[in-house]
Structure 1
Amino acid sequence: MAATKPGDDHYLTLSCPDKSGIVHAVTGLLAAQNLTILDLQQFSDPVSKTFFMRVHFGHATDLTSLQQPMSSLASDMQMDYDIRRVTSKPKVLIMVSKIGHCLNDLLFRVKSGQLKIDIPAIVSNHPEFADLAKSYNIPFYHLPVTKDTKAEQESQILDLIKQYEVDLVVLARYMQVLSPRLCSEMSGRIINIHHSFLPSFKGAKPYHQAYERGVKIIGATAHFVTKDLDEGPIIEQRVARVDHALSPKELVEEGSNVESQVLAAAVKWWSEKRVFLNGAKTVVFN
């Protein structure tokens, strides 16, 4: 028997109207193809009546014989599905403004192999991180934006998304509100890190607001972007305990650590096909 390789493993993700027999049908189909289920997670949402499933299976160098029966099953069960090699790296465009801790963290995780994505380009409305991008041999696009040039600037961003065949856009502290047009064209494919534990303390200085209120925890939220500001489906939230002795500057520093962790987790889970949109919410198999 030939030795298996990581490239022989795949992720199968699917969602469909909930009904009995879905797991049996899918696992039976894979078994009929002599494929091995390495990990399986599922969730049936009683509210939306939707079934979600993620299967990590192996070992197959060629899935040609799987395509027709899987397509037939999907048609019968009104199923949206996707199959992707575990080793394939989705293309992620990162956007940033003047605050770089999330960008720096993502770049390090990619270089060290912790995060298996490809970053074809970095976009910013400021020039500060051009040298950082250069140090990682990643093209950097400085696209300034004003109220009058927003439509033109976002058209340039969409051109880059098309040029690099981008799968996901990550707003790593990109401090501009995206237009409804960009949100619509990239619906379900933009992740933002919000520098507070939503829905509290929205706005420009959440840690200063937290300081004024004497909070005991601070946090950050990674979510998909929609045309409604900071209202998109939440992927991950984390908090850190603080106390009365911390200054606003120290709260910012503590918050920066949480922001980096939350965004990295959200991007990693997305890249591993663990995140499903479920209306205004998400299903996350983590």
Structure 2
Amino acid sequence: MLALNGLTKTFGAQTAVKELSFNVAPGEIMGLIGQNGAGKTTTFRMILNFLHPDQGAVLWDGRPMAAQDRAFIGYLPEERGLYPKMRVADQIVFFAELHGLKRADALSRLDEWLDRFQVKGKPSDKVKDLSKGNQQKVQLIATLIHMPKLLILDEPFSGLDPVNAGLLEDGIRLLKANGSAIIFSSHDMSNVEEISDHLVMLRNGETVLNGRVSEIRQQFGRTRLYLEDPPLSRDELAGFAGVEKVEMQGSRYKLTLSDPAAGKALFSAVTARGYVTEFSQQPPTLDEIFRMKAGVVQ
């Protein structure tokens, strides 16, 4: 298990990370979120021992991380980096060998991983001759092929279209099923909500959210109400006690409630007037919660 205990890191007068603590167990996925400069990459670099914390400790199975532990870590940095003149197969095998995988074992897994990520290109092609998207897939495979016990992904979904993002999610779930402890950062809250078991949000280096995604959402109450084809006008809906705002989202209304209890009266009033295609009362989305905690006025 990965454990961060009270990590603090400063650069001069600036505190990049302050008293950060969390655990990631085997077979668990944690999303690390926050605005640019919140401290996510600094946290990753402390886990990897690229930076040393001023206070606190990074532990793996109860002991400090050591140089030999890097063999079982998979790390995808935000700044991608491949050797453009190397062949695809040589590139992937090179990184696999750096993590202790034998060349023959890496080659035996190569075609399976290229197929899994639907790489358009042959193992004998040079990396520079692939499209940007396929180069990104090659780097992802190089990060995952040795089936790391600890997987760290810094903005892995950046630049991926929905299809390829789905392939990456499948790859992450494969490692989760294999018992890997996984931590990743993303600015796309739909990715975080879709695959994370729990999340931590940093703001200016401080922890502002820490917990399971569903529990965090429930803390904010069921203050979002979605109605499709209601038999009431927008002005009528806005006139109900406890309704702060009414917005149109495509063919449906989104109501923001000051009091979740207002939903019961709305349900009675709306359904008394006829059939409703959709009536769904939910907590704020993770994207909305992110904006609230980041101090963004909506």
TM-score tier, shorter chain, comes to under 0.3
Give the structure-1-normalised TM-score.
0.25
Higher relative contact order at CA 8 Å, sep ≥6: structure 1 or structure 2? 2
Give the structure-2-normalised TM-score.
0.24
- When Rg is computed on C-alpha atoms for both structures, the one with the higher figure is 2
